[in-house]
Structure 1
Amino acid sequence: MIDLEDGLSGLSAYPHLQTLLGLALLVTLAAAVNWLTQHVLLRIVRKALSLSLKDEADALFREVIARLANVAPAIVIYQGIVATPHLPVEAQTVIRNVAAAFMILTVILAIAGGLNLVNAVYSKRPEARARPIKGYIQVGKIILYAAAAILVVATLLDRSPLLLISGLGAMAAVLLLVFKDTILSLVASVQLTSNDMIRVGDWIEMPQLNANGDVIDLALHTVKIQNFDKTITTIPTWRLINESFVNWRGMQESGGRRIMRSILLDQTSIRFLTQDEITRLRRFVLLDLYLDGKAKELQAWNESFIRAGRDGVNTRKLTNVGTFRAYMQAYLKAHPGVAKDKTMMVRQRDPTPEGLPLEVYCFANTVVWDAYEAIQSDLFDHFLAVLPEFDLRLFQAPTGWDMRGMHEGLLAGAPAAAPPGA
């Protein structure tokens, strides 16, 4: 039987075989360390985290600890490669530099994962919607990756990182050009966040970019908006500073949404009311206060002219359009869907070729879109339907029905029938 010492001494004649055996042993040891780390140590750590952190345990494990576990086999290779017999110094240096670069990259990725975890945990806080930190996290990651790139290159070249940093001065102009959008977006992100101009969940509107919907993501370079047709519009962050946009957050926080819509009246239907018509309009309970108050006001005004023997043309009278405007105002005050603590009025706008606009200006007591539209439609359904009671007509361009009536009237040798309510 051959003695073991004789066998080992016999390998000295084969230096390449010793090198291969040393490398195989080193790789086996690194694989064993990796297995122990992944299947033993990480399981223990994961159980310990699950007991203490609960919901954040999986994220912390996945983003940080699992990445750091890859450093263990790299350390074995970095330290053990120098013990490999007959391996050239140049080869040892290259392998050590690669292992060191791998460890640097792994640590940087773990730190970046930790920043992701910080953002995820912070996003669950109530103030996260008003003060998102995603932009700052991305800036931190850019700095990390830049530092990692310098350290990795310096390690692979076996040079001091200061040499590479000193060479960056000559590349400053190029870097500013390449990262122009990043710099602009960084400044814009800080301004948007510090001035509370936009939050995730805000409804914003930028017609020039076809954006009208809710902010779903606020990042360093881009802001994502889900439009009401469910499309996604992506806007560079810096454009929100350079260009104007509408943020509807104030409306949503106020609890009411504005109604501002006009009814166009045919101006030829406006006239004074007779006493019989005033009596008939007293059927509307909402007009009681208005008619009583106006009766006293007009009586006091008119008596002075009557006593002076002035012509009746100088007296004041109720008009159908004024009474209808008062009815609209009273109806708004009585409607349960109209906010009573906000501006509420009915006003005349300047007459136009399309008629006299009677504008309703008030606020619905909800910001829910479909409920708001229902309230607005309910108001104007009623106003349009009640118009004939005041002997008023809507202005409307002639339709095919009007043209047909005129044509039939001409054929019959009679004037065209007047539209209903005339």
Structure 2
Amino acid sequence: MKVDMDTGIQRILYDHLLRTGMSENMAAYLNLLILLIGSLILAGLLDFVVWKVLRAISVRLARKSATNFDNYLVMHRVPRYVARIVPLLLLFELAPIIFMDFEKGGSIAFKVIQILFLIATLSIVKSLFRSIKDYLKTKRRYRDKPLDSYIQVFMIVAWIFGALTIFAIVTETSIWKFFTALGAASAIILLIFKDSILGLVASIQVSINDMVRIGDWITFDKYGADGDVIEITLATVKVQNFDKTITTIPTYALISNSFKNWRGMQESGGRRIKRPLIISQKGIRFLSDQDVEDLKRIELVRPYLMDRNEKIKAHNESHGVDKSLAVNGRNLTNIGVFRKYVQEYLGNHPAVHKGMTLMVRQLQPEPHGIPLEIYAFSSDKRWENYEYIMADIFDHLLSALPFFGLEVFEWPTSLSPIKPRDGWSLGNP
């Protein structure tokens, strides 16, 4: 320690302590302690006053401002962190006075103040970007963008740079030497930050390719996710399932695995209905003239039967077809007429979208029956209404099958005979 007080406040206090009979060393240490405590108290008072002033100004401006961005600045305590810069600058100026005769202590104090200043700056930057993120989320254009990922990437870089700077301050070495040494330590860094790096790459690809947005309904069977995306961050994507549970998916899994995004359906004019009726094969047969007459009582297929039956008869007569066997010539079948009935029924259903694909098709026969698939689109895309519409359609079609002498395949009753409706001639072939 070097005791060599110059003129000024240090001298006045130091001389006063010497006059009390205190030794030079004890007076110097006590002088240092008093000046340090006084400076910290002054810095604390200045911090409080500046914070109150900035808070009052920012709140007043936020109330008068037309935009709500300043509201988020106040909410994320940006004025509070800015207020801490002023007392740190005061301490930086007072440090040479306080530690004038304590070079080693002064060096440590300078390092501590620089580190605190750096941490305060990073806190301001973090709060500022969180305010920007929350503000942009109120804008329709950015509401479904993965802003959390971008903020996290920037803050990771900022905190890494801050940590290196702090280490450089403590060791009194150039920060650029650390960046030079990063090449040798890159393997370790890649291992430690593997998930963050994969998440960063995935977030960029997800954003550029517009694969997922916040609010999208996705189905990810591998992770048991089926619901709406509520958050996209650097490392994870949170999905709120329809049972209100939350599934967390690694962001990089979105580009390394297959998942289903229902956004296309939600943005289209309708929601697809694609479900088959499994028709028992034993009930399929040609229609007799009496069957055709009976089926003409069904309004939806009456015009079709009248037109089709006349054309078939004209064709068979012109070609001299022997109709003693039903298999000869051209004939109507009960499954063919039923298929036409389903087509007409869907075409007249008010909840089926008429401007999108509407098709009733017969799929390849299977051991348990013939699938008659309905391929159409519901006008209402809401899940509850969609399920109701689809159930309403199939309720009707299942009830209509016996009128055509058909039945669906069912294991317990697949060998039972088809029972036609009273007053109808359709029966077993």
Do they superpose with TM above 0.5?
A: yes
Q: Go from structure 1 to structure 2 and tell me whether the alpha carbon gap of 1:347 and 1:196 turns closer, same or farther (over 3 Å shift).
A: same
User: 1:107 and 2:121 equivalent?
Assistant: yes
Q: Which has the higher helix share?
A: 1
Change (3 A) 1:353 1:368: same
Query: Contact 1:265–1:394 at 8 Å: present in 2 too?
Result: yes
CA shift for structure 1 position 103: 0.7
**Which range moves more in the overlay, 123-132 or 294-303?**
123-132
Q: Secondary structure of the equivalent of 2:159? A: helix
* Residue matched to 2:34: 21
- Provide the residue aligned with 1:407 in structure 2: none
Equivalent of 2:202 in 188, 192, 214: 188
Number of the residue aligned with 2:48: 35
Check the 8 A contact 1:112/1:144 in 2, yes or no: no
Tell me how far apart the structure 2 counterparts of residues 126 and 81 of structure 1 sit (CA, whole Å): 50
Give the superposition deviation at 1:378. 0.7
| Structure 1 counterpart of 2:307 | 293
* Deviation per residue, 1:196-243 (Å, 9 max, x gap): 111111111121221222111111111111122222111111111111
For 1:165 and 1:117, the matched residues in 2 are separated by 31
CA apart distance, 1:86: 6.0
User: CA–CA distance in 2 between the matches of 1:49 and 1:43?
Assistant: 10
Q: Does 1:50 align with 2:56?
A: no
Q: What fraction of aligned residue pairs are identical, expressed as a percent?
A: 37
TM-score when normalising by structure 2: 0.87
Deviations 1:265-298, CA, capped at 9 Å, x for gaps: 2212112222222222222221122112212320
Mapping of 1:107-146 within 5 angstroms? Answer: 107-146=121-160
**Shift in Å, 1:39:** 2.4
Residue identity matched to 2:235: H
Cα deviation for residue 53 of structure 1 reads 5.4
Show structure 1 runs of 5+ residues with no match. Answer: 404-416
- After superposition, residues 201-216 of structure 1 pair within 5 angstroms as 201-216=215-230
Take 1:263 and 1:21, find their aligned partners in 2: how far apart are those partners? 91
Aligned to 1:11: 17
Report the TM-score when normalising by structure 1. 0.89
Task: Please tell me the residue identity of whatever aligns with 2:364.
Answer: D
TM-aligned CA deviation for residue 191 of structure 1? 0.9
Deviation track 1:51-78 (CA, whole Å, cap 9, x = no partner) reads 2255333321234221121122222222
Measure, in 2, the Cα distance between the counterparts of 1:214 and 1:204.
Answer: 6
Q: Is the 8 A contact 2:51 2:79 kept in 1?
A: no
CA distance in 2, matches of 1:200, 1:54: 24
Please show how residues 54-65 of structure 1 align to structure 2 within 5 Å. Answer: 55-61=68-74, 62-65=76-79
Where in structure 2 are there 5+ consecutive unaligned residues?
1-10, 19-23, 421-427
1:68 pairs with 2:75: no
C-alpha distance in structure 1 between counterparts of 2:29 and 2:323, whole Å: 131
Deviation track 1:26-56 (CA, whole Å, cap 9, x = no partner) reads 1222122112112234323332343225533
Q: Does the 8 Å CA contact 2:14/2:28 hold for their aligned counterparts?
A: no
Secondary structure of residue in 1 paired with 2:367? coil
Q: How many residues are matched?
A: 402
Corresponding position: 1:223 with 2:237: yes
Partner letter of residue 368 of structure 1? R
1:331 aligns with 345
The 2-side partners of 1:225 and 1:274 are apart by 58
Aligned equivalents of 2:170 and 2:65: distance in 1? 40
What is the aligned partner in structure 1 of residue 180 from structure 2?
A: 166
C-alpha distance after superposition, 1:131-162 (max 9, x if no partner):
43322221111111111111122223333322
How far off its partner does 1:367 sit?
1.1
> Is the contact made by 1:97 and 1:158 (CA closer than 8 Å) also made in structure 2?
no
